[in-house]
Chain A
Amino acid sequence: MLDDPAVALTILVLALFVGFEVISKVPPLLHTPLMSGSNAISGITIVGALLVAGAADRTPLGTVLGFIAIVLATINVVGGFLVTNRMLAMFRPRKPDA
Chain B
Amino acid sequence: MSDQLIQFAYLAAAVLLILGLRQLGSPKTAPRGNRIASIGMLVAVVATLLKQEVVDFRVILAGIVVGSGLGAVLALRIQMTAMPQMVALLNGFGGAASALVASAELFSYMRAGEEPTGIVPAAIVLGVLIGGVTLTGSVVAFAKLQELMRGAPITYPLQRASNALIGAGIVAVGVYLAAQPLEIDAFWALAAGSLALGVLLVIPIGGADMPVVISLLNSYSGLAACATGFVLGNSGLVIGGSLVGASGLILTKIMCDAMNRSLTNVLFSAFGSVQQVAAGAGPQGTAKGYTPEDAAVIFSNSRSCIVVPGYGMAVAQAQHAVRELSDTLQEKGISVKFAIHPVAGRMPGHMNVLLAEADVPYENLVAMDDINSEFPETDVALVIGANDVVNPDARTDKGSPIYGMPILDVDRARHVFVIKRSMNPGFAGVQNPLFFNDNTMMIFGDAKGTVLSLVEAVRELA
Residues of A within 8 A of B (CB): 1-5, 8, 11-12, 15-16, 18-20, 22-59, 61-63, 65-95, 98
CA distance A72 to B97 in the complex (A): 6
Cβ–Cβ contact B362 & A36, under 8 A: no
Q: Does B55 contact A (CB under 8 A)?
A: yes
Chain B stretch 240-268: residues in CB contact (< 8 A) with chain A: 240-251, 254
With A32-B347, A74-B68 known as contacts, the answer to whether A2 contacts B230 (CB < 8 A) is yes
CA distance A18 to B230 in the complex (A): 19
Cβ–Cβ contact A38 & B367, under 8 A: no
**Residues in chain B near residue A81, CB distance under 8 A:** 34, 37-38, 41, 75
Q: How large is the interface on B (under 10, 10 to 19, 20 to 34, 35 or more residues)?
A: 35 or more
CA distance A44 to B276 in the complex (A): 42
Q: Does B59 contact A (CB under 8 A)?
A: yes
Cβ–Cβ contact A22 & B18, under 8 A: yes
Cβ–Cβ contact B234 & A48, under 8 A: yes
Cβ–Cβ contact B59 & A46, under 8 A: no
CA distance A66 to B34 in the complex (A): 27
Cβ–Cβ contact B22 & A43, under 8 A: no
Partner of B63, one of A23, A38, A66, A76: A66
Cβ–Cβ contact A58 & B108, under 8 A: yes
Query: Which partner residue on chain A sits nearest B47 by CB separation?
Result: A47
Q: How far is the CB of B386 from chain A (nearest CB, A)?
A: 16
| A-B contact list, 18 entries, CB within 8 Å | A19-B246, A22-B22, A32-B353, A35-B347, A40-B38, A54-B56, A54-B59, A65-B107, A68-B97, A69-B101, A70-B67, A73-B67, A78-B71, A82-B72, A83-B86, A84-B34, A92-B362, A93-B363
Cβ–Cβ contact A34 & B363, under 8 A: no
CA distance A88 to B352 in the complex (A): 11
**Residues in chain A near residue B87, CB distance under 8 A:** 32, 35-36, 39
**Residues in chain A near residue B35, CB distance under 8 A:** 85
CA distance A84 to B32 in the complex (A): 11
Cβ–Cβ contact B94 & A76, under 8 A: yes
**Residues in chain B near residue A23, CB distance under 8 A:** 21, 243, 246-247, 250
**Residues in chain A near residue B251, CB distance under 8 A:** 31, 34-35
Q: 15 other contacts beyond A41-B222, A42-B90, with CB at 8 A cut-off?
A: A1-B235, A15-B242, A29-B27, A30-B30, A37-B37, A39-B221, A44-B17, A52-B108, A53-B56, A70-B59, A70-B64, A80-B90, A86-B75, A93-B27, A94-B361
**Residues in chain A near residue B66, CB distance under 8 A:** 71, 74
Partner of A70, one of B25, B38, B41, B60: B60
CA distance A67 to B65 in the complex (A): 11
Cβ–Cβ contact B218 & A95, under 8 A: no
Cβ–Cβ contact B243 & A34, under 8 A: no
Chain B stretch 38-74: residues in CB contact (< 8 A) with chain A: 38, 41, 44-45, 48-49, 51, 53-57, 59-60, 62-64, 66-68, 70-72, 74
CA distance A54 to B54 in the complex (A): 5
Cβ–Cβ contact A73 & B54, under 8 A: no
